[in-house]
């Protein structure tokens, strides 16, 4: 699974339930290192239009291409090809189903809601307008929590792929829980240290993150093609193999497929920047969907060409395919190169997300929506070391909890499942908001899906149903899970704990607001619209 853009101004979560002070002014007062964050303009006060930011020149072709390409790069996840490959050729059809049942509804929902409410805040603002402060707060809270859960899963992915640096002799550690925990904590420590020192030091790691994940996929497709020409595919591609099976054990990976198409809400897009938006935007959505689906299909196909589906693992699937294909064509040296790119690229992804999402508790601390300690800056480097440290500690806790009492694969599956659930709960609220807001007259200039209100409602309903099914499937443990009851307890229990914690923080904010209103001296939060705070 891949997360959206590392720029929080594009992630639909910069308001933090009513941050009224602009980030740029706050950082000047606090003496924040000007290199962290770079995009301080994205932290304008709530209600300011995102149109004030950098604008794309009004052209049909340029903005549509930028939006479509941004969608494909922001949503694409190399980790989704492993679970898909393990399902065999039928997963190729599932990618197309996910395109129609999830990506397209998500695209039209995000574009309409962002044009209805262009102010900063994205998903939080949309849900708050539809259902009130508490629902908006909960959507924002779970959205942030999903990023914290994301770190451990990516760290396990790093640990699994790093084993291919040493060739077959290192594969003995592929089932070693101490190894995975140690590498995960080590990678987290590196990302934390570089970000505490400052973005001017850590940015090199962030910048190579994307390149490090694209290169191995290119290697896989190229070397898989050569192996197929010389020796034929390793998997059986008879026509019946492409028909999806709907048995429970065969559809559990569908939630991962849907998750692979998520992240579109991270696209910073305004319909007013495109000439003839009503014709251009639908084409851009379809083009973006076609691009990302083609990438997923090619990646999965390359995995299946290199490996039989029964040998594909969800944690190391892509690297297993690269190593096997490289051996078949007589180029074993390719696998360590790809493993190095994956490892460095993934560590860069952890660093970028740690830096970007740490802005959220930092601003909340500056505005006293969280304890003021979260708004402190390092005396030497001017970075929010408390906020960064908090996220690193939380990620480390999830590493330990996921590994307790299970295998490495069980821990990784639990992290992926928890990530899907925590990330998709805000999606449920977003699709529901889309349906409810159809009863509210759309302001002038609002982009509507072709077909108007009936089409918009139907698309949102399809997206809601797909998201709900994905959440349910994510909570069901895989057939080979060593302790299914424990796995379910971890995933469902952790999800409930996150929801309860968010509700408790909201209640604390309401109580603090009332205490201040009656002359009490309690420090707390006052979100926009009068709800709770962080």
pLDDT tens by residue, 470-488:
999 999 887 777 788 888 9
The end-to-end CA distance of the chain, in Å, is: 27
| Ranges of H-type helices in 358-407 | 359-366, 385-403
Q: What is the mean pLDDT of residues 515-528?
A: 56
Q: What is the pLDDT of residue 314?
A: 65
The residue with greater pLDDT, 134 or 40, is 134
Q: What is the pLDDT of residue 365?
A: 64
Q: What six digits make up the tokens of 458?
A: 């139907």
Whether the pLDDT of residue 1 is over 60: the answer is: no
Q: What is the pLDDT of residue 70?
A: 46
Residue 428 backbone zone (phi > 0: left; psi -120 to 50: alpha; other: beta): alpha
Q: What is the pLDDT of residue 433?
A: 95
Between CA 166 and CA 171 the distance in angstroms is 8
Choice among 41-50, 266-275, 285-294, 345-354 with the minimum mean pLDDT: 41-50
Whether the pLDDT of residue 54 is over 50: the answer is: no
Choice among 204-218, 401-415, 518-532 with the minimum mean pLDDT: 518-532
Choice among 39-43, 501-505, 527-531 with the minimum mean pLDDT: 39-43
Q: What is the mean pLDDT of residues 2-21?
A: 36
> Under 8 Å CB-to-CB from 302, ≥6 apart: which residues?
220, 221, 224, 225, 321, 325
Between CA 513 and CA 192 the distance in angstroms is 34
Give the tens place of pLDDT for each residue, 278-317: 556 666 777 777 888 888 888 888 888 888 877 776 667 7
Quick check: 96 and 290 in contact, CB under 8 A? no
DSSP state of 49: B
Give the tens place of pLDDT for each residue, 374-417: 778 878 877 788 888 888 888 898 888 888 878 888 888 888 89
Q: What is the pLDDT of residue 53?
A: 39
Q: What is the pLDDT of residue 276?
A: 57
Packed helices 104-116 and 123-131: angle between N→C axes, nearest 10 degrees: 70
pLDDT tier at 21, thresholds 50, 70, 90: very low
pLDDT > 90 fraction of the chain, expressed in percent and rounded: 13
Q: What is the mean pLDDT of residues 102-116?
A: 88
SS3 41: helix
Summary mean pLDDT of the chain? 74
The residue with greater pLDDT, 37 or 453, is 453
Q: What is the mean pLDDT of residues 214-229?
A: 85
Q: What is the pLDDT of residue 227?
A: 86
Between CA 126 and CA 132 the distance in angstroms is 10
The residue with greater pLDDT, 327 or 5, is 327
Query: Which domains are delineated in the chain?
Result: 8-44+77-517 (1.20.1740.10)
Q: What is the pLDDT of residue 125?
A: 83
Choice among 26-30, 254-258, 349-353, 506-510 with the minimum mean pLDDT: 26-30
The residue with greater pLDDT, 449 or 95, is 95
pLDDT tier at 450, thresholds 50, 70, 90: confident
The residue with greater pLDDT, 346 or 500, is 500
Q: What six digits make up the tokens of 35?
A: 């290199």
CB-based burial label for 511 (10 Å; 0-12, 13-18, 19+):
middle
Nearest of 467, 51, 128, 527 to residue 264 by alpha carbon: 467
Whether the pLDDT of residue 79 is over 70: the answer is: no
Q: What six digits make up the tokens of 242?
A: 């492409």
Neighbours of 441 (CB within 10 A): 8
Whether the pLDDT of residue 65 is over 60: the answer is: no
Choice among 44-53, 106-115, 436-445, 504-513 with the minimum mean pLDDT: 44-53
Q: Report how far apart, in Å, the C-alpha atoms of 431 and of each of 149, 216, 240, 351, 354 are.
A: 22, 35, 35, 31, 28
Q: What is the pLDDT of residue 457?
A: 94
The residue with greater pLDDT, 343 or 102, is 102
The residue with greater pLDDT, 176 or 266, is 176
Q: What is the pLDDT of residue 394?
A: 87
Give the tens place of pLDDT for each residue, 307-359: 887 777 666 778 888 888 888 888 888 889 988 888 887 777 777 767 666 66
Q: What is the mean pLDDT of residues 108-120?
A: 80
Between CA 89 and CA 73 the distance in angstroms is 24
Quick check: 88 and 304 in contact, CB under 8 A? yes
Q: What is the mean pLDDT of residues 218-238?
A: 85
Q: What is the mean pLDDT of residues 191-202?
A: 70
Quick check: 148 and 398 in contact, CB under 8 A? yes
């Amino acid at each position: 699974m891949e997360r959206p853009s590392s720029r929080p101004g594009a992630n639909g979560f910069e308001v933090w339930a009513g941050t009224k002070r602009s980030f740029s002014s706050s950082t000047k007062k606090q003496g924040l290192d000007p290199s962290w964050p770079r995009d301080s303009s994205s932290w304008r006060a709530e209600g300011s239009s995102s149109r004030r930011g950098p604008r794309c020149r009004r052209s049909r072709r340029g903005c549509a291409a930028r939006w479509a390409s941004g969608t494909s790069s922001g949503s694409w996840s190399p980790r989704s090809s492993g679970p898909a490959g393990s399902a065999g050729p039928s997963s190729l059809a599932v990618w197309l189903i996910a395109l129609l049942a999830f990506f397209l509804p998500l695209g039209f929902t995000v574009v309409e809601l962002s044009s209805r409410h262009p102010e900063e805040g994205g998903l939080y603002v949309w849900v708050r307008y539809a259902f009130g402060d508490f629902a908006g707060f909960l959507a924002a809270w779970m959205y942030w929590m999903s990023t914290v859960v994301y770190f451990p899963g990516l760290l396990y992915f790093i640990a699994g792929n790093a084993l291919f640096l040493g060739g077959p002799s290192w594969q003995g550690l592929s089932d070693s829980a101490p190894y995975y925990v140690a590498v995960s904590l080590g990678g987290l420590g590196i990302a934390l240290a570089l970000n505490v020192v400052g973005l001017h030091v850590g940015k090199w790691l962030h910048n190579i993150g994307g390149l490090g994940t694209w290169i191995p996929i290119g290697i896989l497709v190229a070397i898989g093609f050569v192996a197929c020409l010389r020796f034929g595919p390793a998997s059986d591609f008879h026509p019946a193999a492409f028909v999806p099976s709907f048995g429970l054990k065969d559809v559990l990976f569908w939630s991962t497929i849907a998750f692979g198409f998520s992240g579109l809400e991270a696209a910073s897009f305004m319909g007013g920047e495109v000439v003839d938006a009503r014709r251009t935007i639908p084409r851009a959505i379809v083009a973006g969907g076609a691009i990302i689906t083609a990438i997923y299909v090619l990646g999965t196909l390359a995995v299946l060409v290199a490996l039989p589906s029964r040998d594909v693992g969800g944690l190391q699937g892509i690297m297993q395919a690269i190593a096997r294909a490289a051996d078949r064509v007589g180029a074993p040296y390719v696998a360590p190169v790809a493993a190095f790119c994956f490892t460095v690229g993934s560590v860069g992804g952890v660093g970028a997300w740690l830096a970007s999402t740490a802005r959220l508790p930092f601003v909340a601390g500056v505005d006293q929506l969280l304890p003021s300690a979260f708004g402190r800056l390092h005396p030497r480097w001017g970075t929010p070391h408390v906020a960064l440290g908090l996220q690193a500690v939380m990620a480390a806790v999830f590493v330990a909890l996921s590994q307790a009492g299970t295998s490495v694969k069980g821990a990784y599956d639990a992290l992926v499942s928890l990530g899907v659930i925590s990330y998709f709960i805000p999606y449920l609220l977003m699709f529901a908001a889309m349906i409810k807001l159809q009863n509210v007259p759309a302001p002038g200039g609002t982009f509507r899906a072709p077909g108007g209100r009936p089409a918009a409602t139907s698309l949102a309903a399809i997206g809601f149903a797909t998201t709900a099914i994905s959440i349910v499937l994510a909570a069901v443990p895989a057939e080979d899970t060593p302790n299914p009851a424990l796995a379910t307890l971890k995933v469902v229990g952790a999800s409930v704990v996150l929801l309860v914690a968010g509700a408790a923080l909201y209640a604390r904010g309401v109580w603090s607001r009332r205490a201040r209103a009656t002359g009490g001296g309690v420090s707390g939060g006052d979100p926009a619209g009068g709800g709770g705070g962080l």
